[in-house]
């Protein structure tokens, strides 16, 4: 326990009271998120820090202490699902590696802090972020309007597409060829969002199978119980290369999306710092270098 329960409740009341009195002009969502985040960040400060966090919640702009806190702690905690190659996964030496991990290591070394990798359950990612167990979500995290309401994203650093993968001998070459076929995808992923927004295509399919993860999807494709998989192009290319299978990625994609790094809504200064570091890395070529190591070409989009 970092602070007693009673103290935290009193501080929460003070926070809310000061918000009401000063009539903060921020939107309701940001305010309530700031209050929640303020309660969380308060837990880590002593009583003396109350004034600065009170100022943070009334201002609700980039005068928060998220960056100073991370620098003081000397560590940035990165939350990831360590089963998502090639963005973040376990290698054969049992270390957590990945494209996002390399980016994060470079950013944190430039910031002068340590990087701590915290495996989390992906379906609780925003919950872990808001509860303060992690400082950022950096794991092929797609930017979407719904997520923007709950998460403070950096600029997009990588482009991704939701694509359809089929067996090489299936004779399917276009989305139109998929009519009357079975498609599988990972439940709750941005693939299922992409399918939902392509109603015509979805309606043309015989069946849509939701699975717990992408490896199972590949097993379905291999075993011919499904005709196609809908998933991130980046991850698909990894699996196809790794397993040296005769699979084909269709040219037409269902959705274009971008990956960003997610922070708590109130952590503007921390988010800005990481964003600036990524921009600096783009400018001096480090970003392209890391991208080449992993993908053989520069797939980054940050300017």
Partner 1 sequence: MMNYSIMLSAINYSSMIAFLLDGTVKAVELFFLTIVLSLPLGLLVARLRMVKFKVILLPVKFYLLIMRGTPLILQLMFFMYFPPLVFGIGVDRFMVAVFSFTINYAAYFAEIFRGGIESIPVGQQEAAYVLGLSPFQTFTRITVPQVVKRIIPTIAGESMTLVKDTALASVIGVTELFRNAGSLKATYSSVIPFAVAALFYLVMNSVVSAFFSQIEKKLNYYKG
- The reply on whether position 30 binds partner 1 by CB under 8 A is no
- The reply on whether position 23 binds partner 1 by CB under 8 A is no
CA distance 82 to 102: 14
Read off φ and ψ for residue 260, nearest 5 degrees. Answer: -140, 170
- The reply on whether position 225 binds partner 1 by CB under 8 A is no
Contacts (CB under 8 A) with partner 1, residues 277-296: 293-296
Read off φ and ψ for residue 174, nearest 5 degrees. Answer: -135, 170
Structure tokens at 138: 């950096």
Contacts (CB under 8 A) with partner 1, residues 226-255: 237-239, 241-244
Contacts (CB under 8 A) with partner 1, residues 133-152: 133
Tell which residue, 35, 38, 61, has the closest CA to residue 49.
Answer: 38
Find the shortest distance in angstroms from Cβ 8 to partner 1.
Answer: 4
Q: Which of 18, 44, 49, 62 binds partner 1 (CB under 8 A)?
A: 44
- Residue matched to tokens 């849509």: 208
Structure tokens at 70: 């991370």
Which residue lies nearer to partner 1 by CB, 45 or 192?
45
Q: Which of 63, 215, 224, 252 binds partner 1 (CB under 8 A)?
A: 215
Which residue lies nearer to partner 1 by CB, 82 or 286?
82
CA distances (Å), 254 to each of 117, 167, 191, 195, in order?
32, 18, 9, 7
Find the shortest distance in angstroms from Cβ 260 to partner 1.
Answer: 21
Say whether the peptide bond before residue 86 is cis (omega within 30 degrees of 0): yes
Would you list the DSSP string of 70-136? Answer: HHHHTEEEEEE-TEETTTEEE-TTS-EE-HHHHHHHHHHHHHT-EEEEEE--GGGHHHHHHTTS-SE
Q: Which of 40, 184, 195, 255 binds partner 1 (CB under 8 A)?
A: 40
Q: Which of 3, 50, 73, 156 binds partner 1 (CB under 8 A)?
A: 3
Contacts (CB under 8 A) with partner 1, residues 83-112: 83-86, 89-94, 97
> In the complex, which residues of this chain contact partner 1 (CB under 8 A)?
1-3, 5, 8-9, 11-12, 36, 39-40, 42-44, 82-86, 89-94, 97, 118-121, 124, 127-128, 130-133, 213-215, 218-219, 237-239, 241-244, 293-297
């Amino acid at each position: 326990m970092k602070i007693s329960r009673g103290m935290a409740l009193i501080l929460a009341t003070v926070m809310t009271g000061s918000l009401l009195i000063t009539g903060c002009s921020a939107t309701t969502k940001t305010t309530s998120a700031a209050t929640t985040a303020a309660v969380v960040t308060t837990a880590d400060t002593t009583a003396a820090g109350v004034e600065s966090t009170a100022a943070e919640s009334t201002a609700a702009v980039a005068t928060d202490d998220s960056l100073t806190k991370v620098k003081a702690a000397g560590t940035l905690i990165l939350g990831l699902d360590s089963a998502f190659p090639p963005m973040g996964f376990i290698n054969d030496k049992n270390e957590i590696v990945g494209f996002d991990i390399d980016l994060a290591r470079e950013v944190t070394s430039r910031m002068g802090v340590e990087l701590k990798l915290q495996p989390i359950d992906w379906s609780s990612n925003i919950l872990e972020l808001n509860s303060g167990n992690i400082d950022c979500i950096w794991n092929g995290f797609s930017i979407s309007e719904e997520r923007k309401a709950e998460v403070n994203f950096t600029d997009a650093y990588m482009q991704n597409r939701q694509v359809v993968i089929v067996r090489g001998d299936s004779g399917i070459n276009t989305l139109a060829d998929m009519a009357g076929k079975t498609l599988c995808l990972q439940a709750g992923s941005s693939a299922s969002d992409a399918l939902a927004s392509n109603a015509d295509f979805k309606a043309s399919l015989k069946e849509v199978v939701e699975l717990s993860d992408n490896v199972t999807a590949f097993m379905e494709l291999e075993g011919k119980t499904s005709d196609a998989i809908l998933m991130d192009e980046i991850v698909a290319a990894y699996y196809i290369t790794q397993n040296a299978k005769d699979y084909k990625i269709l040219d037409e994609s269902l959705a274009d999306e971008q990956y960003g790094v997610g922070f708590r809504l109130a952590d503007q200064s921390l988010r800005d710092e990481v964003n600036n570091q990524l921009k600096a890395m783009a400018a001096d070529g480090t970003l392209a270098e890391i991208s080449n190591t992993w993908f053989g070409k520069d797939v980054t989009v940050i300017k």
